[in-house]
């Protein structure tokens, strides 16, 4: 059955791919976004866009009254860890009060299913092995604190109001449309710099391990979580595999600029040494496994950035 769906943050990197996946599955899609980091060009045609801020409760309510979404995928967020440490209040206004506005409007307008974009890395911290969902959460940034509290609000809305809501804890997401000028998103940053012949800086010894998951797989996880997620639950969305920055640079160099040499810079304070998530629960309960491996995902990403540079 096609559903009326609303994607908050649908003009962003991940949200726009969620829109694509929902449309491909035959659903109707509307987007709520303030374009603070999202781009109009990311939003697929056939999608109605409501421009405004999740912090504005009246605006959010008016969008819900018009769209009456049966499903909601909440991707809109303040996504900068460093901004969250400088401006914890701003982070909480967007990531907690904004979330509450969307949750309350969902209950008021009779939304059936809800997905919240959370984060594995910032909850679990440094881990030697892929962390299961039961790993204790100990966030060290206000951004991580807002994701942890956001999940708790999602569970509260499930228990208190019967909202069928789940949280997805993404690993390090990469792919087409990622912002190459952000503080994070090393795949996008390196790809753009390699294609421009600009130097790539590897921080410290480059042996910082991350779990890279391709954005279309994350988008598909959103659709599966809406279809069959267990309400009140959180699911890791990652591969469980680890790749360090040196290895990532080598693979991207082979695809984008084989002669490039990296530059090594000072380590970044606070960078986790190793972050991976265990996707076993998503496999068992959502039937989700990553379909695009790192080689293929990087190939597609470089192809997309190359085509964009030509255009």
- Point out the residues that are catalytic: 143
Could you tell me if 85 and 122 are in contact, meaning their C-beta atoms sit under 8 angstroms apart?
no
Q: How far is the CB of 258 from ligand NAD (least distance, A)?
A: 27
Question: Quick check: 188 binds ligand NAD (CB under 6 A)?
Answer: no
User: Does 9 help bind ligand NAD (rule: CB under 6 A)?
Assistant: yes
> Which DSSP letter does residue 285 get?
H
- Residue 52 Cβ, how far from ligand NAD at the closest point, in Å? 7
The only residue of 5, 6, 7, 15 in contact with ligand NAD, by rule CB under 6 A = 15
Cβ contact 178:302 at 8 Å: no
Question: Between residue 80 and residue 119, which ones bind ligand NAD under the rule CB under 6 A?
Answer: 94, 98, 117, 119
By CB under 6 A, residue 79 contacts ligand NAD:
yes
Tracing tokens 């959103």 back to the chain, one arrives at 222
For residues 224 to 263, the per-residue mask of contacts with ligand NAD, x marking binding by CB under 6 A and - elsewhere, is ----------------------------------------
Task: Name the residue among 88, 108, 85 with its Cα closest to residue 97.
Answer: 88
Whole-angstrom CA distances from 266 to 202, 245, 269 are: 8, 14, 9
Burial 101-139 (b: 16+ CB within 10 A, else e): bbbbbbbebebebbbbbbbbbbbbbebeebbebebebeb
Q: Cα(141)–Cα(144) distance, rounded to whole angstroms?
A: 5
Q: Within positions 123 to 182, which residues make up the interface with ligand NAD, using CB under 6 A? A: 170, 172-173
CB of 154 to ligand NAD, least distance (A): 12
Judged by CB under 6 A, does residue 216 bind ligand NAD?
no
| Residue 279 sits in the site that holds ligand NAD (CB under 6 A) | no
CB 150 within 8 A of CB 116: yes
Count residues binding ligand NAD (CB under 6 A): 27
Residue whose C-alpha is closest to residue 3's, from 54, 72, 65: 72
Considering the complex, what minimum distance in angstroms separates the CB of residue 291 from ligand NAD?
18
Q: For ligand NAD, which is the closer residue by CB, 2 or 152?
A: 152
Give the interface with ligand NAD as residue ranges (CB under 6 A).
Answer: 9, 11-15, 33-38, 53-55, 75-79, 94, 98, 117, 119, 170, 172-173
């Amino acid at each position: 059955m096609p559903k009326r769906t609303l994607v908050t943050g649908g003009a962003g990197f991940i949200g726009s791919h969620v829109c694509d996946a929902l449309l491909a599955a035959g659903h109707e899609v509307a987007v709520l976004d303030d374009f603070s980091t999202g781009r109009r060009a990311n939003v697929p045609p056939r999608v109605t866009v409501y421009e405004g801020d999740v912090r504005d409760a009246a605006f959010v309510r008016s969008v819900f009254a018009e769209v009456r979404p049966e499903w909601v995928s909440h991707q809109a967020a303040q996504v900068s860890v460093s901004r969250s440490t400088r401006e914890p209040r701003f982070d909480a206004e967007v990531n907690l009060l904004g979330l509450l506005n969307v949750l309350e409007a969902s209950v008021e307008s009779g939304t059936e299913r809800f997905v919240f974009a959370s984060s594995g890395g910032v909850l679990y911290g440094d881990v030697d092995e892929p962390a299961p969902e039961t790993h204790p959460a100990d966030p060290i940034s206000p951004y991580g604190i807002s994701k942890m509290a956001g999940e708790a609000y999602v569970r509260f809305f499930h228990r208190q109001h019967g909202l069928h809501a789940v949280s997805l804890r993404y690993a390090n997401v990469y792919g087409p449309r990622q912002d190459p000028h952000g503080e994070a998103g090393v795949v996008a940053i390196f790809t753009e710099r390699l294609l421009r012949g600009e130097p790539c800086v590897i921080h410290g010894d480059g042996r910082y391990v991350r779990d890279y998951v391709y954005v279309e797989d994350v988008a598909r996880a959103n659709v599966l979580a809406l279809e069959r997620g267990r309400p009140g639950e959180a699911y890791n969305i990652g591969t469980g595999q680890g790749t360090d920055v040196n290895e990532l640079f080598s693979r991207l160099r082979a695809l984008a600029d084989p002669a490039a040499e990296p530059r090594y810079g000072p380590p970044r304070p606070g960078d986790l040494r190793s972050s991976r998530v265990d996707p076993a629960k998503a496999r068992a309960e959502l039937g989700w496994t990553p379909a695009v491996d790192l080689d293929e995902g990087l190939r597609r990403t470089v192809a997309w950035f190359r085509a964009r540079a030509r255009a």
